[in-house]
A and B are shown apart, each in its own frame.
Chain A
Amino acid sequence: MTSQPFRLPQGGLVDRSRLVTFRFDGREYTGHPGDTLASALIAGGTHMVARSFKYHRPRGILGAGVEDPAALVEIGSGIHRDPNVRVTEAEIHDGLEAHAQNVWPSLTFDVGEANDLLWRFFPAGFYYKTFMGGPRGWMTWEPFIRRAAGMGRAPDGPDPDPYEQTNRHCDVLVVGAGPAGLMAALSAARSGARVILAEETAALGGRLLSRDPAATHLDDRAAPEWIGAVAAELRSREDVTVLTRTSAFGYYGENFLGLWERVGDHLPRHERSPNLPRQRLWRVRAKQVVLATGAIERPLVFHENDRPGIMLASAAVTYVHRYGVLPGRNVLVFANNDSGWGAAFDLAESGASIAAIVDVRREIDGALLSRAAALGIAIHAGCGVVGTSGRFRVTGAKVQPVEGAGGVSDIACDLVAVAGGWTPNTALFAQSRGKLRWDDDLAAYRPGLSWQKEASAGASNGVFDLSGCLAAGAEAGARAADAAGFSAVPAPVPALRAEETLQRSIHFVAEVPSHRKPEDTRAWVDLQDDVTTKDLKLALQEGMQSIEHAKRYTTTGMGTDQGKVANLNAFRLVSDKLGRPMHEIGTTTSRQPWKPVTFGALAGQHVGHHFHPRRGTPMHDWHRRHSAVFEPVGDWLRPRAFLKAGESFEQAVQREARAAREGVAVLDATTLGKIDIQGKGAREFLNRVYTSAWTKLAPGRCRYGFMLGEDGMVLDDGVTSCIADDHFHMTTTTGGAARIYQWLEDYAQTEWPDLELYLTSVTEQWAVASLSGRDSRAVVEEICDDFDADPATFPFMSFRDTTIEGVPARIFRISFTGALSYEINVPASYGLWLWEKIFEAGARFGITPYGTETMHLLRAEKGFVIVGQDTDGTVTPHDLRMDWIVSDTKGDFIGKRSLSRSDTARADRKQLVGLLTEDPGLMLEEGAHVIATENEPAPPVPMLGHVTSSYLSPNIGRSIALALVAGGGDRMGDRLWVTRPGGAPIPVRVTETDFLKLKEEGHV
């Protein structure tokens, strides 16, 4: 006995020579390569695969592809688990493990099903009404609701699979490889255009694959052979990229589209190439786009229309011809247009018996009636299905005339094939911001006005007949090539021999009329989110009359399927109930992505180390070898401290900080931003961008300066040195380097183009070692070629050019520590060499490498500020009590006018002061609030300011802190308090900020 009772003896594109074994929900199934989970499960006789979101109702397989709303499962386990996978899209392979989700304890016995008994208590807006009230409503309930309404579980750990992103330009991107898409790609390719053809499923051919190959001939070839020939030609062309298993998920501005390719998902892990990613994201910029995305059949909306075994008629036919599977042996077809009849005939000829054709229309085309009669099919015209039976699979339907007082017939069946008409798939068109047009004959929206450089062709444009699709595709491809600058060579449209029963004379009803009381009717519009017509009607009654409001109130179309089959029925219901035409109701917004895309693909290679690439200095490897603890500063990784064996981070900082004053210590300062400024206007430029005066700075001298924004607030700081009258070397903070460079270019190019100057970033050209401490002079003199570093003759804030073993070097006498300092600059390629040289020469002084944490501590001992730590964009130089840095004598500079604005000039602004705790061993917390009272008053607590920097200082011998305090300059010596969580406020004394000086003067 076969384990695939519903597999047809022949037909389908599956490879019957091979058997594939997989498991679903603990049971073993077999199928063939080419099967989806859906086709293989149906072959095994299983239709129920999931439970619905709200009521936990059994959910079956409605569609045969991306349109399916609710047949979602988990695939894989542990770190490989993928939730919410559509069974109609997932391809099977040996060893595949799928599980039902949103069920407990099992798919067929699910406790959550109790919700279904309470359905009357879960009206539209239930969550809003019940849980939004009160201060803690939603917060309290959300975790429980989420658990109960779960949509699959996330993987158990970080994703181990590789993903890839790639950028592409092309002349013509064709989305969809059905008859229209294939012809479009062929035309564009033959015209010489660079073409990308993206097909969502595993095979080219689209709807052609859902047709009986024996009854579909193109140029006298059966459809599969014709497709094969087209595919072979496309693949043979160098300028054509054919992508299968690739969804165009987003249409963004200026013909930028995202494509998501599943490279390896259809293979067992051991068969996947280790050289290929699991999935690939293509970022495509196309000159022209052809949207050949087809059309999607709609279900019909009637009482109990959600049972497993109720399937789109087109999907039923697809299972027969594409997969060689019979979805039901005894099929009731329910239609509102002719295409359902075509499906019925097709199924009948494929071995199913047709229990009945039910059609809401009274008038049926004579040819259809006679063909049905010839096949012996019972016809119920002017009738509707008004109820169904069956727990895990439909077992029968109740049929009743839609008008008059006809009785109900019970018809047994194992499949209800529903044919509610076709919706052109306009999702990408709408994403491109094109305007849709309501077409009454089509009973659907189709593309109207284009906004971007695209054209819809074939069924996505409302053309449903095969020859029309082939012709439209050929023309669209040629036009696209022409618009992209090629002389068009349209592919000749193949001669077609095929029988088609198209959507004709549709009677589009939002809800099948029945004699049932509305309050007792449960007719599903959205199968994933469990939205019924009753919910939508209630939403309208409660005033949610905009389609966007009705959507959000009921959640219709808000599931992971975005309402692909549900939306138009919902819009129609709203239109009917409000008595307003469809074009006034409009549509909800088609958003990217068209279907769920994995985070892995969206992240691509940008994970782990590649998430944010870090820069290292030429000395970086040395730091690594010497136990540096790193921190990111801007894009750089800088050593925070160098740990000795057995030493804690705090101990290392204390040791390094002592060495930087009492001995000699060295900091890798390579990362400082450096900008070379040249030109006759350079000096004037500095006058305008810095607060201080630069007119008199002589060559060989350096000056520290602040840059302000136009709002007067401190933007950046650094030392700039005069190399020649028209040549300056500027340094910026490490983190501000790129921003300040851009900002300077802004002023140079846009405000003062009359100043002749050139700015060049030279950050990477220099490696910098900053020596600090009593013995630094000796080290400098030892490594430099014949160099006198005597601070008396080589004064503070000057620089000298010299050589080190012949290598050019520039030495600055500048200091961020307050100790004797020399900053040695060499060409970056000599950075490591210099560094090692320094350690060689410094060995006898016990030279100590130090990191940024120590640097921060050292500068705080001296009361130097760090822009971005002691300032936060609301702090002026006066707030820092650094009035000396602002020149009153020169002309305008950036931010000058703002310093006298009434608010900026207030005396009670927060000002930078030192804080010393009364208990010298107690350290304040950075960010802690400063208050004026011994006890913390009741909230709101009046706050004077906050602590910006706080350290335990080995050189001062106690804790020190800097703080911004309201009117701080006038509070010297005052006793204030600093709050802390879970303890009494800490008493502190307000001091000046230069703690070294305070110590020298005996105040500490």
Chain B
Amino acid sequence: MFVITCPYCGERDQAEFVSGGQAHRTRPLNAHEMSDADWGDWVFMRDNPKGIFAERWFHSAGCRRWFNALRNTATDQFLAFYPMGEAPPAVEAVLPATPAGEAPIGSGNDAVKVMRPGESEGTTT
């Protein structure tokens, strides 16, 4: 269960929020000029990256404001929360080496449950 930091209310449990999917998708103002294919893409297609993903959340059981978040989908770690209309901040994240790879820690995936020889010990956060 995530801890989500609402930009207006602060840290709250995920149970208070509703996820709104991909962020920064601007509704086209020239829809009538768009081809069926382009319009269909906008309506139906969403990014689903393994890595940093900008997504929307709604504080439905709180202030009822929509806001944005950056989440590392490879590790389920939130990296930033920011109001609607703002550009995503620059963040650092533990990312998979390739889209098909695994982040070196945090995914819980088979490939990264055990350290390789030479990998240094300690804490990553």
Contacts and interface: CB of A to CB of B under 8 A. Distances in A.
Interface in A406-435: 430, 433-435
B121 A745 contact: no
B114 interface: yes
Contacts of A254: 1-3
Q: Is the interface of A mostly helix, strand, loop or mixed?
A: mixed
Nearest to A254: B3
A659 B34 CA distance: 53
B115 A750 contact: no
A897 B29 CA distance: 11
Interface in B5-28: 13, 18, 20, 26-27
A78 interface: no
A902 interface: yes
Interface in A870-903: 892, 896-898, 901-902
Contact of B60 (A256, A742, A898): A742
B116 A583 contact: yes
A795 interface: no
Contact of A753 (B27, B44, B84, B115): B84
A164 to B, nearest CB: 18
Given A433-B107, A435-B105, A450 B123 contact: yes
Contacts of A710: 27, 42-43
A901 B107 contact: no
A750 B39 contact: no
B86 to A, nearest CB: 12
B39 A897 contact: yes
B108 interface: yes
Interface in A187-217: none
A753 B29 CA distance: 15
A437 interface: yes
A252 B1 contact: yes
Contacts of B29: 892
Instruction: Tell me which of B27, B108, B114 has the highest count of chain A C-beta atoms within 10 A of its own C-beta.
Output: B114
B125 A438 contact: no
Contacts of A898: 39, 43
Using C-beta atoms within 8 Å of the partner chain, give the interface range for chain A. 35 or more
Contacts of A256: 1
Nearest to B85: A753
A897 B76 contact: no
A437 B3 contact: no
B106 A448 contact: no
A746 B39 CA distance: 20
Contacts of A902: 36
Contacts of B110: 546, 548, 586, 589
A687 interface: no
A820 B27 CA distance: 42
A567 B70 CA distance: 38
Interface string A253-265: 1101000000000
B117 to A, nearest CB: 7
A901 B39 contact: yes
Interface string A753-772: 10000000000000000000
B113 A586 contact: yes
Interface string B64-100: 1110000000011000000011000000000000000
Nearest to A546: B110
Contacts of B124: 449-451
B119 interface: yes
B13 to A, nearest CB: 8
Interface residues of B, number: 45
A448 B121 contact: yes
A826 B50 CA distance: 52
A548 B105 CA distance: 19
Contacts of B36: 901-902
Given A436-B113, A897-B32, A449 B3 contact: no
Contacts of B117: 583
A897 B125 CA distance: 46
Contacts of B122: 449-450
Contacts of B85: 753
B44 A749 contact: no
A398 interface: no
B66 A749 contact: yes
A449 B123 CA distance: 5
Contacts of B31: 892, 896-897
Contacts of B115: 435-438, 448-449, 583
B10 to A, nearest CB: 14
A753 B27 CA distance: 13
A77 interface: no
B113 A587 contact: yes
A742 B121 contact: no
B105 A749 contact: no
A587 B114 contact: yes
Contacts of B44: 711
A19 B117 CA distance: 56
Contacts of A361: none
Contacts of B27: 710, 751
A453 interface: yes
A452 B3 CA distance: 13
Interface in A535-575: 546, 548
A749 B39 contact: no
Contact of A253 (B1, B34, B114, B119): B1
Contacts of A437: 114-115, 119, 121
Given A449-B119, A753-B85, A745 B66 contact: yes
Interface in A570-593: 583, 586-587, 589
A256 B58 CA distance: 22
Nearest to B28: A897
Interface string B35-68: 0100110111000000000001010100011100
A92 to B, nearest CB: 37
Given A448-B115, A451-B124, A749-B66, A433 B108 contact: yes
A285 interface: yes
Instruction: Tell me which of B2, B65, B105 has the highest count of chain A C-beta atoms within 10 A of its own C-beta.
Output: B105
A334 interface: no
B40 A901 contact: yes
Contacts of B105: 433-435, 449, 451
B112 A742 contact: no
B103 to A, nearest CB: 10
Contacts of A451: 75, 105-106, 124-125
Contacts of A901: 36, 39-40
Contacts of A742: 18, 58, 60
Contacts of A345: none
Given A450-B123, A450-B124, A438 B114 contact: yes
A728 interface: no
A256 B116 CA distance: 28
A445 interface: yes
A479 to B, nearest CB: 11
B113 A749 contact: no
A897 B37 CA distance: 12
B93 to A, nearest CB: 13
A217 B85 CA distance: 65
A815 B42 CA distance: 38
A412 B80 CA distance: 67
A749 B114 contact: no
Nearest to B29: A892
Nearest to B125: A453
Contacts of A749: 65-66, 84
Given A433-B108, A901-B40, A750 B66 contact: yes
22 contacts: A253-B2, A433-B75, A434-B105, A449-B115, A449-B119, A450-B122, A451-B75, A451-B105, A451-B106, A451-B125, A586-B114, A589-B110, A710-B27, A710-B43, A742-B58, A745-B58, A751-B26, A751-B27, A892-B31, A897-B32, A898-B39, A902-B36
Give me the 4 closest cross-chain CB pairs, A-B, nearest first.
A897-B31, A448-B115, A450-B123, A437-B115
Given A750-B56, A896-B31, 9 more contacts: A433-B105, A435-B114, A449-B122, A450-B124, A583-B116, A587-B113, A710-B42, A710-B43, A751-B27
